[in-house]
A = this chain, B = another copy of it.
Amino acid sequence: MAVNLPLPIAANLKPVAGIELGFAEAGIRKANRKDLLVMKLAPTATVSGVFTKNRFCAAPVQVCKAHLEGVRLSGTPIQALVVNTGNANAGTGEAGLANANATCEALAALLGCAPSQILPFSTGVILEPLPVDRLKAGLPNAIANLNADNWYNAAEAIMTTDTQPKAASRTVTIAGKSVTLTGISKGAGMIKPNMATMLGYLAMDAKVVQPVLDHMVKAAADKSFNCITIDGDTSTNDSFMVIATGAGQLEVNDTTSPEYAELAAAVTSISQELAQMIVRDGEGATKFMTITVEEGRSVEECRQIAYSIGHSPLVKTAFYASDPNLGRILAAIGYAGIDDLDVSKLNLYLDDVWVAKNGGRNPEYKEEDGQRVMKQSEITIRVKLARGDAAATIWTCDFSHDYVSINADYRS
């Protein structure tokens, strides 16, 4: 029951020169489903990413960070990424680290590179040992079908409780040169600021030097994957990776060029699309909500209030019920932790409907107007703080019976 989320059409997902994708059914947790993905990169590729800030970050996340640090020190490029679903390899201690390293070693042996040139990713159940033998046994099958046209299969291979694959693709022209960008993502619970059990992979055929790519990825994440929330849980495995294969025409070598600005805008835009897809397919979601907080003193306080609204189970259940019980939004603003907030100046809008004026109910507000907006599948909540000119936007979904069902039954 995803909210206005079109199924990707395989033919519309453009191959990106310099990256091939292969998948397998390795039986990590369940039989007969794609659960293993290998992405093989051209030697010209640079890779950068952002990871969960969870202290219980998973073994593969720790290995990824170490290998990316190795790239920065040695310049030896990443050759492949490998993703398994069905098991998060998190909360698994030393054995988990050994399994993540064993995965890299196995794939490196097959590809003829060093284990440090592999980035491993896992998503699924926490606190259970990774069945690394089944994973390793699946690698040759994944390599056997490596193909630049496999983006749709790749999107399917990284799904967990997602109801459908998520992918986006576009071609832009920058300084007269064509750049193709294609990405995939998966959710769908444990989604919140600072990443989630959220995996996102975006490849483009531009050539981007490492420090410039690092800068671009962080900026894009802050305006996309770090602006979504489903249930306020931050997972142990969240990762968003951008790959610049260097196989295309455009080169970007510094952050001050016009080419940088245009490419960064394209990366941010497609990242937002991939991130919003995760919200649209949030566990049990029936509504897609945009929460914008304006006229704040800082972006930080605007985000804090937006997340306070977006995390409130009472707000989310009211939206599920299409019940304009909008005082719950005021309550969530009030406990967002902005100690000097003067609520008597605050205004609240639901789409075009002015609900609260100067901290109280707008005398012109009519319940039927609120009701009309609440029944829509896409709703914007806008809060004006009247204390500055900073603003922030996040995206979230409502909280339904199905969220409880899905999470109460996840492992069964």
Q: Which residues of A contact B (CB under 8 A)?
A: 52-57, 88, 90-96, 125-129, 189-190, 192, 194, 231-236, 311-314, 317-318, 320-321, 323, 325-328, 330-336, 338-339, 341, 343-344, 355-356, 358-361, 399-401, 403-405, 407-412
Residue of B nearest to A189 (CB): B314
Binding site of A, secondary structure by majority: helix, strand, loop or mixed? loop
| Residues of B contacting A57 in the complex (Cβ-Cβ under 8 angstroms) | 334
For the complex formed, measure the closest distance between the CB of A374 and the CB atoms of chain B, giving whole angstroms. Answer: 12
Are B327 and A125 touching (Cβ within 8 A)? yes
Are A313 and B344 touching (Cβ within 8 A)? no
| Residues of B contacting A411 in the complex (Cβ-Cβ under 8 angstroms) | 323, 325
24 inter-chain pairs at a CB distance below 8 angstroms, sorted by A residue, are A54-B331, A55-B335, A55-B336, A55-B339, A56-B331, A90-B327, A90-B331, A91-B361, A93-B361, A125-B327, A126-B325, A126-B328, A232-B232, A233-B312, A233-B313, A233-B314, A233-B335, A234-B331, A321-B412, A323-B409, A323-B410, A400-B404, A403-B404, A404-B404
Specify which of B344, B360, B401 is in contact with A404 (CB 8 Å cutoff): B401
Specify which of B313, B355, B404 is in contact with A231 (CB 8 Å cutoff): B313
Are A127 and B409 touching (Cβ within 8 A)? no
| Residues of B contacting A343 in the complex (Cβ-Cβ under 8 angstroms) | 55-56
| Residues of B contacting A236 in the complex (Cβ-Cβ under 8 angstroms) | 327, 330-331, 334
Are B360 and A96 touching (Cβ within 8 A)? yes
For the complex formed, measure the closest distance between the CB of A258 and the CB atoms of chain B, giving whole angstroms. Answer: 38
Are A92 and B360 touching (Cβ within 8 A)? yes
Are B330 and A91 touching (Cβ within 8 A)? yes
Given contacts A233-B314, A313-B232, A401-B401, contact A190 B408 (CB under 8 A): no
Are A327 and B358 touching (Cβ within 8 A)? no
Please measure, in the bound complex, the distance between the C-alpha atom of A233 and the C-alpha atom of B126, giving whole angstroms: 27
Please measure, in the bound complex, the distance between the C-alpha atom of A127 and the C-alpha atom of B332, giving whole angstroms: 13
Are A335 and B408 touching (Cβ within 8 A)? no
Are B407 and A327 touching (Cβ within 8 A)? no
Residue of B nearest to A360 (CB): B93
| Residues of B contacting A93 in the complex (Cβ-Cβ under 8 angstroms) | 344, 358-361
Residue of B nearest to A311 (CB): B232
| Residues of B contacting A403 in the complex (Cβ-Cβ under 8 angstroms) | 313, 317, 404
Given contacts A55-B339, A91-B359, A126-B327, 13 further A-B contacts (CB under 8 A): A55-B334, A56-B331, A56-B333, A57-B334, A88-B327, A91-B327, A93-B359, A96-B360, A125-B327, A129-B361, A233-B313, A236-B331, A325-B410
| Residues of B contacting A321 in the complex (Cβ-Cβ under 8 angstroms) | 407-409, 412
Residue of B nearest to A319 (CB): B408
| Residues of B contacting A407 in the complex (Cβ-Cβ under 8 angstroms) | 313-314, 317-318, 321
For the complex formed, measure the closest distance between the CB of A19 and the CB atoms of chain B, giving whole angstroms. Answer: 31
| Residues of B contacting A313 in the complex (Cβ-Cβ under 8 angstroms) | 231-233, 313, 403, 407
For the complex formed, measure the closest distance between the CB of A47 and the CB atoms of chain B, giving whole angstroms. Answer: 25
| Residues of B contacting A338 in the complex (Cβ-Cβ under 8 angstroms) | 55
| Residues of B contacting A320 in the complex (Cβ-Cβ under 8 angstroms) | 404, 408
